[in-house]
Amino acid sequence: MNTSEFIVRRILLLIPVMIGVTVFTFAIAQIIPADPAAILCGERCGLVDPVTGKTMLELQRERLGLDEPVIEQFRLYLINLAEGDWGESTTYNRPTSDVVRDAAPVTLEMALFALLMAYPIGITLGILSAVWQDQVFDHISRFLAIAFVSLPIFWLAMMLQLVFGTGTDVGGICDPIFGTEGGCFPIYGRHDAALTYPDRSSSLCDTAITGIACYPSWYPSGGTGFHLVDSWFVTDEALDNINPEYASNYKLFDDTLVHLILPSFTLGIASAGSLLRYMRASLLEVMNEDYVRTARAKGLSESRVIIVHACRNALVPILTILGFSIGGAIGGAVLTESIFAFYGMGNVAVDAIINLDYSVLMGVTLITAIIFLMSNLIVDILYGVVDPRVRLE
Amino acid sequence: MSWEDGVEERGESLRRIRESAAQARYDFKRGWKIYRRSLLAVIGLLMVISISVVSIFADDLAVEHPGRNLQDTRDVWHIDYEPRKAAPFSDECDTRYQKVSLTTLRRWDANGTNALSPTRVADNNSFYEDILVVTEFIELQDRYGVTLGNDLVTLETSNKSYFWISEELMENNSLTQIKLIYKFENDAMHHWWLPDGYDVCIFGTNDEGQDLFSKILYGSRVSLTIGFTVATLTVIIGTIIGSISGYFGGRTDEVIMRITDIFFAVPGLILALAFVAALQAIDNFTLPLWFAFLLPLSGLCIYFRSTIFDSIMPGETSFPEANLPLRIIVVVSLVVLLALGGPWKDFFELADSSGWRIFASLIGLMIVGGIFILDRRLMDNISLDGVGSRTLNSLDWRNPYRYLTFRTLVIFIASIALFTWSGDGDNEVTVIDNFDRLWKIQIALVFTGWPGYARLIRGQVLYVKEMTFVEAARSVGAPSGRIMFRHILPNAWAPLLVAFTLDIGGTILSASGLSFIGLGAEPGAAEWGKLVSDGRAHFPQDYWLVLFPGLAIAYTTLGFNLLGDGLRDVVDPKNRR
Amino acid sequence: MSDEEEILIEAKNLKKYFPIKSGMFSSAKAHVRAVDGVDFKIKRGEVFGVVGESGCGKTTLGRLILRLIPITEGTIHYLGSNIQNMRNAELRRKMQIVFQDPGGSMNPRMSVRSIIGEPLIVNGLADGAELTKKVGELLEIVGLKSNHMTRFPHEFSGGQKQRIALARALSLDPEFILLDEPTSALDVSVQAQVLNLLQAIQKERSLTFVFIAHDLAVVRHISDRVAVMYLGKIVEMADADEIYNNPKHAYTKALISAIPKPDPSSVVDREVLSGDVPSPVNPPPGCAFGHRVNHPKYPDSINVDLSLVEVAPNHWVQPCPCCTEI
């Protein structure tokens, strides 16, 4: 099987899963005890339309297709999904696709940055742990690995806020290290309160009103939503119109980064724990292989044996858990977002449940599924490229 | 016929029980030998034991019940208590602010008041038998915070829970209310293992003056219950689905695995959120009557499993079976009969009296039993001679193996109870009466958790299925059911034990997470996640309200994870012998 | 083969192809031809040896005879009736199997009593105290003590385990036992004991054995007749002494030359086989062995009918132009 055929097959395999997920979200929306029509028309539900002789409630139901049989509703739902119409949010009074479009990059940025922090930590500790197997370091790091996955993420977040957060800095640990005063990392929000970041949600970037283009013409309008990247592309024109304290690409980036470190670190800890375990196990297995023994027998230095021969092969299986860790990080983001006041998918989902905003809930479930499946697809393809045996199956 | 006919069989079955006990003992010894090699694992075991002990003896260890508040005197007439937070080990723990309304005192024409009403004792744990004893007045303020002389109040010498307010104070008409700060002591709150004066102070108190330590102790009950319930239910569901998937393979396997894919496609916590949302409007968890019949029905299906599955999916293992059509007819008609529910429903509606229902249950049991016996007769060529006498023998109390009689009785009573119970109400069976939010998150976690187990057990079954002893069992003509239950599952459950242990920890984490975002425990409940979330309002100033409940979660989860990790070594085939 | 002797098992053009599938929607793309057209007859009371190297399909052949896997093509008759049409219970009572790996063929969580007694229980022949008695007898027949029945498989040595496996096979009092490399997992010293036990039991109960092995010496010791298999086909079949003294097929010769000689001084020109066994997925046409050793006459074999021919009384061989001397 060649690579392109392999990729096509992998994509085809996703289709039934995606259909399953839509059935699933639809089923949940059916069970949720809320009448979206009643929420949309509110107090005017009882009013009778003089032309049709129907109440507003009935008209809303008709408009939303709620008077159709369930199968028909599902068909409509699928067609609308395909056309990009994800429904109307009853809490935000905006299209669900917009709500999700704004929230998804926030979570994704946090999750990816978390993995960026978790991988070096987990892999390094895993390698050292395997190299010094059954020594003190190994015992400590194995304990740490288990401890990392045992910590409640919301609690860890608050403890980190306590120790490193601006204004809290218990015990003054942070200041001497980072040379700051009164703590080093802000504990709330994606940006300082004084900064209105030029993105889709800011009125500054509404070209129709202000006439200012926040991003170059080739760039997605309103930015990608990943502020770590967007920061470098904000146009000078836009920079002139924001708080002068932040008016440079670097300062925007710095502000984003500083706000992202604590939430991402919190999120990354659990991933680092499981990575450590996998890396250790994988490396130990590889170290018992004949080719590593041969390398040793050839008289290569131990460090060369480990780095060149063992680690390279041990890292391949680690790739597979990358996809899963993205899913785990997105799940965990539900909790960190609420603590660090990031307005990502987690917060949106929780709000949706509290307000029984079923279309947003469906949207969030669907988008997380898409992200998860896509990341697994990419990992699978990478794996197929790195390890040709996989393609044969 | 007399019971002597069955003596040898019973001796055998007693022997078999002894044999399996010996096997279990051997397994345990071997396992423990491997387990104790790892210090971390032993520590984990101790952690789990300690938290279990704490949850069992929470009543004796805690100083106050979570639903109560020792310092709360709001319901006492003319005394007003101002609840306040006290940091761990701070002096404020055994002092309190109390407002005394002088207007009320004047109106009632009495100037004596007690520190705590003895009438508040209303707890079956009898925590509040003793009343507070005031040991010392610290400060007396008017309602603007101006300090008055301490001598304006006096302690009643005979009963130190009473104090008197001086005439001078009473006559001062500009004062409507005074605020009293005093130290107190309460024998009921004192435990031998706590240092003097720190009864409610080890972890501090929350903004309502409730003892955090007690709440955490009681919280262990909630968390452990959730952990065990969810893990057990998930294991059961996952094992059933996974073993079906693994054993029968083919299309069943494909369908089940695609369903698990869907579950895996959505991150667990978000999936659980969605489920909780879907369950929101349901007040009690009921199952329709026909579903209750699914239980005996599934029993039948398991019994006829080889026929059903072999006829639906003729795979590599399938061989033509004699009497196949007959069995299919029996099974299909039963399924139709039970699934439609019509005749049964009417039957039970008619049978209103409980006597009737028991009678109906007995008849149902006899039908089922008859089918079983008939099936054995037809399929396994077992002689029907002596079936009656054997059944009678097993009911005879004079026989030397009474546990068998006991077992038969238990099976009988349980079946009758099931049938009787299932006939109650409006064609519905109430499974969970009080379907509160805690239950909802448990159900949601079970729903999101089973695919993991299903995959695990499927992999195990696939692995064990290829072992020679399974082929050996087939080569002597063992039916599918026997192969599954006697050969495959007993050799496949070991990794399940590890997953089960780890899952208890994971469930405690997820449940507390859901509680934290406000979907789990009801407000004010002694649930760790809820405690953290309640403490968040006072964070970071009153850090202890977050620190300690979180530590409790981490401690318990860590304990179960270390335990599971140790068990993994025990189960690892590399460590066999 | 004299006519008055009863034919117990007869296989005609027996084939077993395993499909290679790659995904849920795709049908089989290729087949592993594990057994590819095999014919033989087994007489009642004889020991029929099957030899060949690993992967030649001899184990699959055994599974086919026992109906443990479905047949792709061809038939097997047991005493004249097609085994496909026999009732499972009937078949299992008449034919039993002893597996190669004595440890693996026993459920580690069952006591010896349950292991040996299982055939009796599932066939409804004995239970309870009667079972205990029967298991005790069986254990003594295979040279173990009856009080061993409360123990578990891991408490026994390899040879003892194989005795238990034999006891299990004997429990239904079958007419035919298939021995799938019963001694290859054992130490040489134990091998001899087990072989002698097998021979004794076979004589005593006048059982019919099919003895599968890769070791020609062992097969010769126990078998009356021997079939040599190569890549899913029988290449040569004759009485044990005949095939040993007068091999016709080059593969048989190679196998015989590989038997170690007890006399170290005797110089044997051992035939060392070059090349690898061809893949059974796409076996080469014609004589597979000729293809392997890259015989110059190999192309001649492609268009020849390779069905076995009787070159001497009871000596059948593949009429292969490159590998057979006739």
Q: In whole angstroms, what is the distance from residue B109 CA to residue B113 CA?
A: 11
What domain range includes position A48? 34-85
For residue B558, the model assigns a pLDDT of: 95
Q: Does A9 touch chain C (CB under 8 A)?
A: yes
Q: Does A393 touch chain C (CB under 8 A)?
A: yes
Is residue B516 a contact partner of residue B534, using CB atoms and an 8 Å limit?
Answer: no
Interface partners of chain B (CB pairs < 8 Å, 3 or more) are A, C
Predicted confidence (pLDDT) per residue in A315-363, tens digit:
888 888 888 888 888 888 888 998 898 989 988 988 888 888 888 888 8
Indicate whether A101 belongs to any domain: no
Interface size, chain A vs chain C, as Cβ–Cβ contacts under 8 Å: 4
Q: Point out the residue among A150, A346, A350 whose CB comes nearest to the CB of B505.
A: A150
The verdict on A374 and A267 lying in the same domain is yes
| Longest pairwise C-alpha distance within chain B | 104
Residues of chain C with Cβ-Cβ distance to B478 below 8 Å are 118, 122
Taking chain B (577 residues) in runs of 10, the rounded mean pLDDT of each run is 55 72 83 87 94 86 66 46 73 72 67 49 44 75 80 74 75 78 69 66 78 87 91 90 81 84 85 82 61 52 43 34 50 53 46 54 61 52 50 52 54 58 52 73 89 90 87 82 81 86 92 87 82 86 88 95 90 65
Residues of chain C with Cβ-Cβ distance to B14 below 8 Å are none
- What the block records as the tokens of C233 is 């086909």
The verdict on A339 and A222 lying in the same domain is no
Q: C interface mutation test: which of B7, B471, B476 has the most C CBs within 10 A?
A: B476
**Within 13 Å of residue B66, how many CA atoms lie on the same side as its CB?**
22
Residues of chain C with Cβ-Cβ distance to A393 below 8 Å are 22-23
CA distance C135 to chain A (A): 44
Q: Does C22 touch chain A (CB under 8 A)?
A: yes
Residue A207: partners with Cβ closer than 8 Å, 6 or more residues away: A213, A221
Residue of B nearest to C68 (CA): B475
Residues of chain C with Cβ-Cβ distance to B4 below 8 Å are none
- What the block records as the tokens of B330 is 């029996």
Residue where one domain finishes, among candidates A242, A274, A296:
A242
Q: B interface mutation test: which of C16, C76, C107 has the most B CBs within 10 A?
A: C107
Q: Point out the residue among B262, B554, B565 whose CB comes nearest to the CB of A151.
A: B554
DSSP B78-121: TEEEE---B-TT-GGGGEEEEEEEHHHHHHHT--EEESS-GGG-
Q: Which of A276-285, B1-10, C81-90, C180-189 has the highest mean pLDDT?
A: A276-285
> Number of structural domains, chain A?
3
The verdict on A347 and A386 lying in the same domain is yes
The verdict on A375 and A290 lying in the same domain is yes
Indicate whether A90 belongs to any domain: no
For residue B224, the model assigns a pLDDT of: 92
Is residue A187 a contact partner of residue A265, using CB atoms and an 8 Å limit?
Answer: no
Asked if the Cβ–Cβ distance from B258 to A142 is below 8 Å, we say no
Give the residue among A260, A263, A227, A269 at the shortest CA–CA distance from A339.
A263
Residues of chain A with Cβ-Cβ distance to B40 below 8 Å are 139, 142-143, 146
For residue B310, the model assigns a pLDDT of: 39
Question: What is the mean predicted confidence (pLDDT) over C239-255?
Answer: 85
Q: Does C285 touch chain B (CB under 8 A)?
A: no
Indicate whether A93 belongs to any domain: no
CB atoms within 10 A of CB B320: 12
Residue where one domain finishes, among candidates A242, A276, A294:
A242
The verdict on A70 and A219 lying in the same domain is no
Indicate whether A62 belongs to any domain: yes
What is the DSSP secondary structure assignment for residue B329, as one 8-state letter? H
The verdict on A59 and A119 lying in the same domain is no
Reported residue count of chain B is 577
CA distance A378 to chain C (A): 20
- Greater model confidence, B118 or C288: C288
Is the predicted pLDDT of residue C188 greater than 70, yes or no?
A: yes
| Mean confidence (pLDDT) of chain C | 82
The verdict on A206 and A155 lying in the same domain is no
Is the predicted pLDDT of residue C309 greater than 50, yes or no?
A: yes
Give the residue among C221, C284, C277 at the shortest CA–CA distance from C254.
C277
Between β-strands C176-180 and B79-82, what pairing exists: parallel, antiparallel or unpaired? unpaired
Q: In B162-260, where do the E strands start and end?
A: 162-165, 177-185
ipTM of predicted complex:
0.88
Which residue has tokens 């004794």?
C200
Give the residue among B518, B523, B512, B511 at the shortest CA–CA distance from B550.
B512
Asked if the Cβ–Cβ distance from A369 to B278 is below 8 Å, we say no
Residue of B nearest to C171 (CA): B476
SS3 (DSSP) at B45? helix
For residue A263, the model assigns a pLDDT of: 93
Interface size, chain A vs chain B, as Cβ–Cβ contacts under 8 Å: 154
Indicate whether A92 belongs to any domain: no
Residues of chain B with Cβ-Cβ distance to C68 below 8 Å are 471, 474-475
The verdict on A276 and A348 lying in the same domain is yes
Is residue B25 a contact partner of residue B31, using CB atoms and an 8 Å limit?
Answer: no
Indicate whether A378 belongs to any domain: yes
Indicate whether A28 belongs to any domain: no
Is residue A137 a contact partner of residue A124, using CB atoms and an 8 Å limit?
Answer: no
Residue of A nearest to C20 (CA): A393
Q: Point out the residue among B281, B550, B558 whose CB comes nearest to the CB of A155.
A: B550
Q: Does A328 touch chain B (CB under 8 A)?
A: yes
Is residue C261 a contact partner of residue C246, using CB atoms and an 8 Å limit?
Answer: no
Residue of B nearest to A368 (CA): B266
Interface size, chain B vs chain C, as Cβ–Cβ contacts under 8 Å: 95
Q: Which of A263-277, A281-295, B373-387 has the highest mean pLDDT?
A: A263-277
- The CATH number that applies at residue A119 is 1.10.3720.10
Q: Does A304 touch chain C (CB under 8 A)?
A: no
The verdict on A314 and A268 lying in the same domain is yes
The verdict on A295 and A386 lying in the same domain is yes
Predicted confidence (pLDDT) per residue in C108-133, tens digit:
888 888 889 888 888 777 767 778 88
The verdict on A236 and A259 lying in the same domain is no
Residue B163: partners with Cβ closer than 8 Å, 6 or more residues away: B112, B113, B114, B115, B134, B137, B153, B154, B155, B156, B180
Q: In whole angstroms, what is the distance from residue C214 CA to residue C200 CA?
A: 22
Indicate whether A131 belongs to any domain: yes
Q: B interface mutation test: which of A28, A90, A155, A377 has the most B CBs within 10 A?
A: A155
Task: Note which residues in 73-132 of chain C have CB less than 8 A from chain A.
Answer: none
Asked if the Cβ–Cβ distance from C129 to B11 is below 8 Å, we say yes
The residues of B whose Cβ lies within 8 A of any Cβ of C are 8-9, 11-13, 19, 22-23, 26, 254, 316, 319-322, 380-382, 467-469, 471-479, 482, 486-487, 490-491, 577
Q: In whole angstroms, what is the distance from residue C62 CA to residue C50 CA?
A: 9
The verdict on A123 and A158 lying in the same domain is yes
Asked if the Cβ–Cβ distance from B473 to C101 is below 8 Å, we say no
CA distance B17 to chain C (A): 12
Residues of chain B with Cβ-Cβ distance to A360 below 8 Å are none
Q: Point out the residue among C107, C123, C168 whose CB comes nearest to the CB of B477.
A: C123
Residue of A nearest to C24 (CA): A13
Residue where one domain finishes, among candidates A85, A120, A153:
A85
Residues C294-315 as b/e (b if ≥16 CB within 10 A, e otherwise) read ebeebeebeeeebebeebeeeb
For residue C25, the model assigns a pLDDT of: 44
Burial of B469 (0-12, 13-18, 19+ CB in 10 A): buried
